[in-house]
Structure 1
Amino acid sequence: MPYLVHTLQKYPEIALFLTLGVGFWIGNLKFGKFSLGVVTSTLLAGLLVGQIGIKLPSALQATFFAMFLFSVGYTVGPQFIRAIKSDGLPHVIFSVIVCVAGTATAIVLGKMLGYNAALTAGLLSGGYTNSTVLGVATDLIQQSGVSRAQIQGALALLPISYAVTYPFGTVGSSYLLANIAPKLLRFDLAKECEQYERDHGGRTAVGTTAYREYSARAFRVTNPSLIGKSVREVEAFFNHDIFVLRMRNGDEAAIVDCTRDTVVTEHAVLAVSGSLTALLAHEGQFGPEVKDVPLLDFPTERLDVVVTSKEYAGKTLGEIIDTLFDEPGRGVFLNKVTRSDVSMPMERETRIQRGDVLNILGARQDVAKIARVLGYADRPVEGSDMAFMAFGIVAGSLVGAFTIHVGGIPFSVGTAVGAIVAGIICGHLRSTMRTFGYIPAPAIWVFNNVGLNGFIACVGLNAALGFVGGIENYGLSLFLAGTLVTIVPLLVGLVVGRYVFKFHPGILLGACAGARSTTAALGSLQEVAKSNVPAIGYATGYAVSRLMMALLTIVVVRVF
């Protein structure tokens, strides 16, 4: 044991990874329906391991947190900007009201109980289940200009307050929203969500589906009307609903990739593609369907193509289809058109702009031809645009660190707020200009989870020695204050959302969970509702709360 303690003290990076390992392990365990969660488990593990006296540099802590904040902003940026500009504005205003209610509750309780900035910020972070508050408060306290001893004392209280209040913040909000709120407001959540799905096009499929809108099949030609005709004539015969891609002139003959001038011979086997509706409608007009694996064994690709070509930007969708989906893109199908991640109407009159994304499906070589003409092939890659991320954090942090003096008092939003705003802007830019800034979902998961929990581990290890005394001094009153910070903004949200904004019940509860950035509550809601409808309200609320709570933390620290 002395050897282990000495080694951890000498090499604190080992203590950091030990804390992360224990935190992720314990946090993913479930005791019935209850789970501590990775963040709380990591904090407790850090407080435990840190009892032997571990100190990590503040720069490491800040680096982890900047990674986390940027990844959060990058993820929610498109939703946030879209909500600000579109009819999601009521959800934005609703989320701001809930955030302000939670912050005001923490400030009032902090004043009543004689707490300082650190205890109040930790109370808000844990009771409101928003870890962003913890990091922003840490950043602001470190830049406050007070003595180093005062800073260390304050930073020791932050994780104590967070650790005491977070468990009820998670469990309490989940139970209140999923089980108590429907009874208080007198509605059946499952029935309301089922009705919403019927009114808005049915239940959204979860995961993959066996259904395929477009397919390819092999037919042996026995219809005399088709023999001796060119592929152009055959496709015209079927009103261009289907396309002839490949042909075999006999069972042992070589396979030919068809052009518009290829002639269909007697007993030829054709590989034809089209929508499932078209194939079913016309299958009897070829001849018998056959199993010809080599004929159908050609590579296909579903690809997002970003329109950057000046020639095609500004044209209607109909003009592009008539020009490109005849030659060179014969047999390529248009699945979806999106603009800033929003689906556009699939109508011939829809005018395509630069930056719009066309999702197309077809033989790989034909898909590649269209991509070269239209602009940029946005294929998923394993690598991340790290320069985009790094320069984004630098720019946001420089702006956040800029300080102005009003009446001799320094004001700045802090580097943490700068990082999350930079992430929001960069995420929005990526959604509108898809030729740069790609960060794969697995990489975002690492930046988000390792960034947040690496920061939490540093906080726990550095604050461990003052933890026990803090619990003895503030435990019970702090816990009770945390329950109020959890409950009050939820009650405000339920009343305002139901009677002022008149949200659909399922969307209202999801919006309350999102405004508190409580993923556990969303999971409970979806389980009770047997539906994904609550996620509609959650998305905007989550995006807004991440930024709002970072900004409101500045208010908390300044007030105290």
Structure 2
Amino acid sequence: MNIDPVALLQGSDVMLLFTALGFGLLLGKLNLGGFQLGSTPGVLLAAITLGTWGFDLHVQTESLGFMLFIFCVGIEAGPNFFSNFVQDGVRFISIAVVVVLTALTATSVVAGLLGLDSGLAAGMLAGSLTSTPTLVGAQDAVNQQMAHLGAAERQAIFGQISVGYAITYLIGLLGILLVLRLLPSVLGLDPKDEARKLERARGMTSRRRRNVRTPILRAYRVSEDRERGGVGKSLGEIGLFQRSGLIVERVKRDGELLEPAPDLVIEPGDKVALVGFPINHARSEVDHDAEVYDPDLLEFRIDTADVVVGNPEVLGTPLADLDLETRYGCLIDGVTRAQVELPLSRSLTLNRGDVLRVSGERQRLEKFAGKIGVIEHASDVSDLMTFSFFFLGGLLVAQLGILVGDLRITLGNAGGLLLAGILLGFFRARNPMFGYIPQGAINMLKDLGLNIFMVSVGLAAGADILDALRDSGLAIVLGGVVVMLLPLLAGYLFGVLVLRMNPILLLGALTGAMTSTPALQALNEMSDSAVPALGYAGTYTFANVFLTIGGALIIML
């Protein structure tokens, strides 16, 4: 039996789609001299290659792909979008605004000078900023705001958007990485030193340099040495946690277990159970030779749970003010915001939807969780009903519009689904079991939707990319460099001269505003710190929303 691969791919959209996905993802995983292209660029290049060979999809798979992607982006943005950042909040939002406005202005000016059509301009903007939401917003604007055009005309604009994006995407990806690597050297900055300055100023502990953080329980007999053992002093006066990072979990005296209240006075012969991380036990002033193995003190379980911040009373509160260790007897080992792990800092203020990794005795842990929010209970079951109804609501909102003269302006599918996703994410932050979907499932839906969309974009671009490169390729490349570079420089100058931000925190914020995760990873390595993640998490959420709108504006203006 003879099998014709070309005929198979031409006759089956599903086979063509997954061929592009499979080979594209394989291409993205290849390691060439320490450099990995990444999944999205790999899929895009594979699809472009297939497109230049004449392959195309007969159904509009990009619609479902971009809808899933933008809806999941909204879900992840929701918990923080309506939060008021007390520390650095206005700064992060203003940086995102400056970067997006500079990018839109640069794109409009460059397109006007080089005579580029709106489709090429929108694609150039999306590619130069490596921003898929911009691409989604632009393509959706064509469907919604240019419905009066014929199908052939709209398809031509789609092709221009895809070509502009495909040509400039690698420019944006590599250009941002190059600028962020060179900028500190040009300005005479030491990324590691700048990160340490901020860590010291805010009492941060960088995740990249921390040891394994597993709390353990040990029991000791109190020394009769009044100075060393604290005999005659209350637990509050001793201040064990402030001195060593250890928490007094239980006290046993004459066979009786006592509540470790701050006013409890230590007596000779008392036994105490101490909870803390291994490094704190090792560095503590307790007499390790006096360790005891008492079942009453040691036989209880230390649980670890993810606690989602939701109580309005604690929003904007620094971690230090929670008095987590002495009031609740719990230890915190991590804070995640917008899927980005932040460096631990006593001055870090809480936002709605922040996830705190907390360890402690179960009842104490539940008491703490009840104070600030709820414990996130892991589950493999997804609430697809809520997911579906919010998705449907987004599509319905997309149909609403207002008339401005003869022009009907709507949010479009991208705007409607983004808004619906933000609302679902916001409500989930208040009650994590509402519309619960495991983060792994959200990641898969988002990645699958994005890469299906990339296949459609690449195949559409492949048919015209050679002609576009021949006719205006140099102009698009130069324009892409300008659109990539100016927002970075404008954002940096604004952050340094106006906001006076720490340079590494600022660079992290710029990677978020440019929606470049690879650049964040590079910054983390350069600074040997997680400080850049603090800036990235602050701007990324807003940049995604602003850039989705920006893509539509470039098409409409």
Per the TM superposition, whether the score is higher than 0.5 is yes
Distance 2:358 2:92 in 1: 33
Counterpart position of 2:521 = 523
Distance 2:462 2:125 in 1: 20
1:444 corresponds to 2:442: yes
Counterpart position of 1:8 = 9
Aligned equivalent of 2:173, options 156, 165, 170: 170
Corresponding letter in the other structure for 1:206: R
1:366 shift after superposition:
8.3
Q: Report the 3-state secondary structure (helix = DSSP H, G, I; strand = E; otherwise coil) of the residue aligned with 2:292.
A: coil
408-417 vs 332-341, which deviates more? 332-341
Counterpart position of 1:263 = none
Deviations 1:227-260 (A, max 9, x none): xxxxxxxx9xx99934379xxx9xxxxxxxx999
Say if 1:536 and 1:7 are closer, same or farther in 2 by CA, change over 3 A. Answer: same
Aligned equivalent of 2:465, options 464, 467, 474: 467
441-450 vs 270-279, which deviates more? 270-279
1:334 corresponds to 2:336: no
Distance 2:426 2:393 in 1: 16
Distance 2:356 2:497 in 1: 41
Deviations 1:85-111 (A, max 9, x none): 765112211210111111111111222
Distance 1:355 1:484 in 2: 37
Matching of residues 280-299 of structure 1 within 5 Å: 289-290=292-293
188-197 vs 401-410, which deviates more? 188-197
Aligned equivalent of 1:158, options 136, 158, 161: 161
495-504 vs 440-449, which deviates more? 440-449
Distance 1:115 1:307 in 2: 47
Q: Report the 3-state secondary structure (helix = DSSP H, G, I; strand = E; otherwise coil) of the residue aligned with 2:130.
A: coil
Q: Report the 3-state secondary structure (helix = DSSP H, G, I; strand = E; otherwise coil) of the residue aligned with 1:241.
A: strand
Matching of residues 304-383 of structure 1 within 5 Å: 304=306, 333-335=329-331, 361-362=359-360, 377-383=375-381
Counterpart position of 1:453 = 451
Say if 1:242 and 1:192 are closer, same or farther in 2 by CA, change over 3 A. Answer: closer
Counterpart position of 1:103 = 104
Does structure 2 retain, via aligned residues, the 8 Å contact 1:8–1:54?
no
Say if 1:18 and 1:195 are closer, same or farther in 2 by CA, change over 3 A. Answer: same
Q: Report the 3-state secondary structure (helix = DSSP H, G, I; strand = E; otherwise coil) of the residue aligned with 2:515.
A: coil
Counterpart position of 1:265 = none
Counterpart position of 1:124 = 125
Does structure 1 retain, via aligned residues, the 8 Å contact 2:329–2:364?
no
TM-score by length of 2: 0.77
1:481 shift after superposition:
1.1
Counterpart position of 1:243 = 250
Counterpart position of 2:511 = 513
Corresponding letter in the other structure for 1:532: A
1:274 shift after superposition:
4.1
419-428 vs 399-408, which deviates more? 419-428
Corresponding letter in the other structure for 1:175: L
Distance 2:62 2:159 in 1: 14
Task: Please list every run of 5 or more consecutive structure 2 residues that lacks an aligned counterpart in the other structure.
Answer: 225-234, 240-246, 260-270, 312-321
Q: Which has the larger radius of gyration?
A: 1
1:508 shift after superposition:
1.7
Distance 1:338 1:541 in 2: 17
Counterpart position of 1:486 = 484
- State the superposition RMSD in angstroms: 4.6
Does structure 1 retain, via aligned residues, the 8 Å contact 2:162–2:460?
no
Distance 2:532 2:14 in 1: 41
Number of equivalent positions: 511
Deviations 1:43-94 (A, max 9, x none): 1211222434332422x32222122112222223333332567651122112
Q: Report the 3-state secondary structure (helix = DSSP H, G, I; strand = E; otherwise coil) of the residue aligned with 1:206.
A: helix
Distance 2:96 2:310 in 1: 36
1:27 shift after superposition:
1.4
Deviations 1:402-458 (A, max 9, x none): 222111111112111222222223222222333423333322321222111111112
Say if 1:308 and 1:210 are closer, same or farther in 2 by CA, change over 3 A. Answer: closer
Does structure 1 retain, via aligned residues, the 8 Å contact 2:177–2:522?
yes
Say if 1:531 and 1:360 are closer, same or farther in 2 by CA, change over 3 A. Answer: closer
Distance 1:537 1:370 in 2: 28
442-451 vs 275-284, which deviates more? 275-284
1:167 shift after superposition:
0.9
Question: How high is the sequence identity, in percent, across the aligned residues?
Answer: 29
Matching of residues 424-435 of structure 1 within 5 Å: 424-435=422-433
Does structure 1 retain, via aligned residues, the 8 Å contact 2:398–2:415?
yes
Distance 2:517 2:335 in 1: 27
Corresponding letter in the other structure for 1:480: L
Counterpart position of 2:392 = 394
1:377 shift after superposition:
4.8
Distance 1:183 1:284 in 2: 48
Counterpart position of 1:535 = 533
1:468 shift after superposition:
2.9
Corresponding letter in the other structure for 1:79: N
1:147 shift after superposition:
0.1
Distance 1:556 1:355 in 2: 33
Does structure 2 retain, via aligned residues, the 8 Å contact 1:307–1:357?
yes
Deviations 1:179-212 (A, max 9, x none): 1x22444433332222222222244123873344
Say if 1:2 and 1:156 are closer, same or farther in 2 by CA, change over 3 A. Answer: farther
1:542 shift after superposition:
1.3
Say if 1:297 and 1:85 are closer, same or farther in 2 by CA, change over 3 A. Answer: closer
Distance 1:125 1:53 in 2: 24
